[in-house]
Structure 1
Amino acid sequence: MMDNHSQGSRQSNQRSGDGKSQEPFTNPNPKEPQPPRTWPRFLNILLLGLLLFYLIQVFSQSGVEKLTYTEFKNRVTNGEVQEVTVQGHQVTGELKTGEQGSGTTPFRSHIPEFADSNLLTLLEDNQVTINAEQSGQDWWSRLLISFLPWLILLIIIVYFAQRMQKQMGDQQGGMFGFGRSKARRFRQDQPTNTFSDVAGSDNAKKDLHEIVSYLRDPSYYQRLGAKLPRGVLMVGPPGTGKTLMARAVAGEADVPFFSISGSEFIEMFVGVGASRVRDMFNEARRETPSIIFIDELDAIGRSRGTGVGGGHDEREQTLNQILSEMDGFSPHETVVVIAATNRPDVLDPALLRPGRFDRKVTLDRPHKEAREKILQIHVRDVELNTNVDLNTVARHTVGFSGADLENLVNEAALFAGRERAESVEMKHFDQARDKVLMGSEREQHIGEEERRIIAYHESGHALTALLFPKSDPLEKVTIIPRGQALGLTEQVPDENRLNMGASYLHDRLAVMLGGRAAENLIFGEYSSGAESDIEQATRLARRMVTRWGMSDAIGPISCGSTQEEVFLGREISRERDFSERTLERVDAEVYNLLTDIEAEVSKRLARQRNRLETLAEALLEEETIEAERINELLGEDFPSAQTR
């Protein structure tokens, strides 16, 4: 059986990831030197000393014979007592043992409160040496021996409780510090980022330069009557460097920087998130001017009261506290809240009104020149070969974010390391790009007949891409399994397309359906390998009809939501602004659009059947064919091959 998601035309997609890995933060105040934490060592020494003292006391009394008062008097009368020491009501001394009293044994006895007054006379008559000591020493020794084991046990419990708490990562105020802020603070002695470390995003830098200037000299702007923007919302796809840009603002302004993720506010206890918000803002106010950075704001800033059953009480209380704190800034408090999200459509409207997040900074995926600058930053510590052309690498990485480019450089270095190469060459970047786009190569467990179907399927995609002039340039075709796919046809657009015309989308649908049409042309039937192609083509065709007005029958009206619904149940209460008849017409238009394009693809492939078979046979033999090799196989008389 073929993988349901096997073949399909593959274009340079837009990957997700983070820009820079965040360095660890520490919370102590950099303005005050922190003394080394020596109390655990002192506690160990104290505990060991008390334990030693207790053991000495216990073992020192282990060989002492205990006598009752009656036995003590009888021993004195029998002349067995040699010497006694009286300390309050306690008597200790030496008993004569052995033949003719040659040895001695220590003993201990207690004199009752109502003892007779003849004891002193009895001792003197029997020639017993009497020593007297103060009674306070006896009380202290007994008290210490009685309570010392409990003291040692208490110290051990506290010690291990603190060790366990430290291992669990609770460093925010001890076992009662649930409400303390978990914001991590940049110290001035830690490495900082500046705008020079952020390549591309020039428009975002211009918007943030004003914030930096205000934080550096707030008195100048206050004298002019200007007010500091309360909040800056950075919006962009994952991996475009929102966190890195926020850290660069803090580095340029040289102010304290508090960083926290939106999910760190939420706990199982109601009210903890709001308490942490208050603590974080109070700490930032004490360090003014300062910056608070909240990553993944949508974790706590989603619209309130949405979905089935309302909202989450703890999350909504946390959001309400953030709104209240941002309203409570005094004019002299220069605290800026910078937040980042890749889902601005789900944020509560109260967050986005003026007075809270006044500015919205958009970070897009970098263009070719910006990608080259980003690559230059990431290859600073990489040993490059002279044949590496970063301009070419940037041109072949359309749609890559900053995080993708960083990953690309790292994968290229890893490929060079596997080969024990002296430096990273251009082929390593090509291998890394294939891995990032298409996944890692995996073992083949495919029969010969299935390989033929895959080869013709991918050849159909490739030949269709050359037969339809508006389609993206063909880069590579392979039948080597990668990731979840058994074969791939890769196209690389010249640059990111922000506005797509109907003719371009028409040819793009044609390439998606080219593999299926080739299978039917050669084998007379369809296979399950076109599932992913059909799914993508249907989704694109429906958008053309319902959102972009590219159907004469439907016209310039919108019949679908412009965004995916993320709240469970919201679509139940939403009023639909089109009829069932319109939906039927939409389905008919999508069907006609796809079937007409597939028929046109089948006609063109049938006229070029010889070239389709030539390309498929070469693919079965070589497994991977580059664009230059494809042009060579198709011949000079193939018009599209000459122009591509």
Structure 2
Amino acid sequence: MVKEISLGIGIAVVIFLAFQGINLVPTLVLIGVGYFLFNLFKKQGLGSSNNFNTHQKSNKEAADVTFEDIGGQETAKNEILEALEFVRDIDDVKSLGIRPLKGIMLSGPPGTGKTLMAKAVARHIDSAFISTSGSEFVEMYAGVGAKRVRELFEKAKDLARKEDKTNAVIFIDEIEILGGKRGQNSSHLEYDQTLNQLLVELDGMSIDDEINILVIGATNRIDILDKAILRPGRFDRIVKVDLPDKEGRHNILEIHTQNKPLAEDVDLEQIAKETFRFSGAQLESLANEAAIMAMRDDSKEIRSEHFKEAIDKVMMGEKLNRRPQEEELKRVAYHETGHALVAEFVKPGSVSTINITSRGKALGYVRHNPEDDHYLQTLDYIRGQIAVCIAGAITEEKILGNRSTGATNDFKKATELAKKIIFGGMSELGVVSKEHLTSDKIHKEINKIITAEEKRVNKWIDSNQEVILEVGEILLEEESIRGEEFRKKLKIESEIA
């Protein structure tokens, strides 16, 4: 309404002055330029403070998340809950002269539940919740980021007062953007000014404040954070939120399938085994994709086959419409069978599925079924993985007479595994320094390691060519074969290391 009245008055004034014979062109140009600059500065955040785009969550969204809803992170949850006692028992903290808990840094890969944990914290201590991202603070204009940091803390306090709470949680995702090491951007001091302001706000927080603010940062690049932000008295707790182990994955799957009708043949423990290094977000997507596939099949229950298909989709991507020519498809079938055959000799029972359906960038793939999570790798294990990598190309050569570019990524992976052996002190070179080894010496040792595995692979393929041909024909006809059926045809009598 005010805008309309002002516009009307302005037009009336312009008409009146025009009738008086006054030249209004210079004045109108100046007004136009001023209006343009005002809107530009306002857009960049130099005008009204209302333009700062923080995502305020009136406890409604945060209240929906509890620590019980977060699976597979028991260690991280226990560490956070212990730290939150300093916030909940504020009277005891004051009586013992303990400084307030100002910040918690959550560090870990994407999709592990850092945002959920921040919301669960807000619910646990009954606080207002406000979230933002590190990228929201940095602009091309000096001083904008620092101004927005001040606004953020003021908004958190205002939100807490509005909701009649004594605590407020500020969650900053991707905090490495504003908290990176100072001095890295010598041509852009805005980054340093923004971080300095955040440090000032953290240092200014006191146990006697009307509103107690807890800052939670989340990052998957803790190595690039400035040391000043991580020192005690600012972010007092650094909590590692890692990828879940097998038990954690089982727990997450149980949470995300509570509202889904599962068939009797679904074994969540087995699915947890097959999803090594899946994050919580990927497991949630897996359960959702399995339900979608059940709906496509007009099934009222989600069956084991839907989960297996969903695992492939989450790992490799959606099936592609492209279909290689018959000759190429035959090569892919033999290539993947070679991978699977050697995998079974290296570790019997490890193959879950062989498939020649195109997904993502892969024309075919072998999905393995690890029995247990491995965090340390032995020499025998790495040698076995190298053998599996090079088996596809060797099978092509044995059956079809030559190799193809389809093994490029396999060889790249085999080379990286050979380097692990060398730099892990497990090669004939003994314990070595990476810096003091010449590239020629490294190349020779890599070649020696891979050649030794080629001899093993050649022996296994030579003695099982009939099986490879038979399985290849099945794949060409049906596109996939289960590990159990493959093992029946292979008839491995004993484990060969």
The interval holding the TM-score normalised by the smaller chain is 0.7 to 0.9
Tell me if the contact between 2:102 and 2:202 (Cα under 8 Å) persists in the aligned partners: yes
CA drift at 1:330 = 2.6
SS in 2 for 1:176: coil
SS in 2 for 1:459: helix
AA aligned to 2:425 is G
* Pairs within 5 Å for 1:506-545: 506-545=383-422
Q: Please point out which of 55, 58, 74 is paired with 1:184.
A: 55
| Counterparts of 1:549 and 1:556, CA distance in 2 | 4
- Aligned position for 2:83: 211
- Aligned position for 1:319: 195
| Counterparts of 2:51 and 2:327, CA distance in 1 | 65
Provide closer, same or farther for how the CA distance between residues 472 and 556 of structure 1 changes in structure 2, counting only shifts above 3 A: farther
Question: Gapped runs of 5+ residues in structure 1?
Answer: 1-39, 52-141, 148-156, 560-577
Does 2:286 correspond to 1:411? no
| Counterparts of 1:279 and 1:443, CA distance in 2 | 51
| Counterparts of 1:468 and 1:329, CA distance in 2 | 59
Partner deviation per Cα, 1:146-177 (whole Å, 9 max, x = no partner): 79xxxxxxxxx9xxx9xxx9xx9x8999x812
SS in 1 for 2:179: coil
| Counterparts of 2:453 and 2:114, CA distance in 1 | 41
Q: Please point out which of 569, 587, 598 is paired with 2:443.
A: 587
SS in 1 for 2:367: strand
- Aligned position for 1:365: 243
TM-score in terms of structure 1 length: 0.67
CA drift at 1:489 = 1.1
Does 2:470 correspond to 1:601? no
Provide closer, same or farther for how the CA distance between residues 405 and 395 of structure 1 changes in structure 2, counting only shifts above 3 A: same
* Pairs within 5 Å for 1:137-536: 176-177=47-48, 181-190=52-61, 191-284=63-156, 287=160, 288-306=166-184, 310=186, 312-333=188-209, 334-469=212-347, 473-536=350-413
Tell me if the contact between 2:125 and 2:167 (Cα under 8 Å) persists in the aligned partners: no
Give the helix-richer structure, 1 or 2.
2
CA drift at 1:275 = 0.9
Tell me if the contact between 1:185 and 1:257 (Cα under 8 Å) persists in the aligned partners: yes
- Aligned position for 2:494: 639
SS in 2 for 1:228: coil
| Counterparts of 1:271 and 1:407, CA distance in 2 | 41
CA drift at 1:536 = 1.3
Partner deviation per Cα, 1:338-395 (whole Å, 9 max, x = no partner): 1111111121222222222221111121222322222222223334344433333323
CA drift at 1:332 = 2.3
AA aligned to 1:426 is S
- Aligned position for 1:556: 431
| Counterparts of 1:585 and 1:622, CA distance in 2 | 46
| Counterparts of 2:77 and 2:245, CA distance in 1 | 16
> How large is the Cα RMSD of the aligned pairs?
3.4
AA aligned to 1:503 is D
> Bigger relative contact order, structure 1 or 2, given CA contacts below 8 A and separation 6+?
1
Partner deviation per Cα, 1:155-206 (whole Å, 9 max, x = no partner): xx9xxx9xxx9xx9x8999x81269653333313454311121122111111
Tell me if the contact between 1:549 and 1:558 (Cα under 8 Å) persists in the aligned partners: no
Tell me if the contact between 2:59 and 2:129 (Cα under 8 Å) persists in the aligned partners: no
AA aligned to 2:328 is E
AA aligned to 1:360 is I
Deviates most, 617-626 or 388-397: 388-397
| Counterparts of 1:618 and 1:172, CA distance in 2 | 62
Identity of aligned residues (%): 39
- Aligned position for 2:20: none
Aligned length: 471
Provide closer, same or farther for how the CA distance between residues 473 and 183 of structure 1 changes in structure 2, counting only shifts above 3 A: same
AA aligned to 1:628 is E
Partner deviation per Cα, 1:454-511 (whole Å, 9 max, x = no partner): 1111111011011223x88111111121111111111121232111111111101110
SS in 1 for 2:218: strand
Question: Gapped runs of 5+ residues in structure 2?
Answer: 18-30, 161-165
Provide closer, same or farther for how the CA distance between residues 399 and 245 of structure 1 changes in structure 2, counting only shifts above 3 A: same
> Could you say which structure has the larger radius of gyration?
1
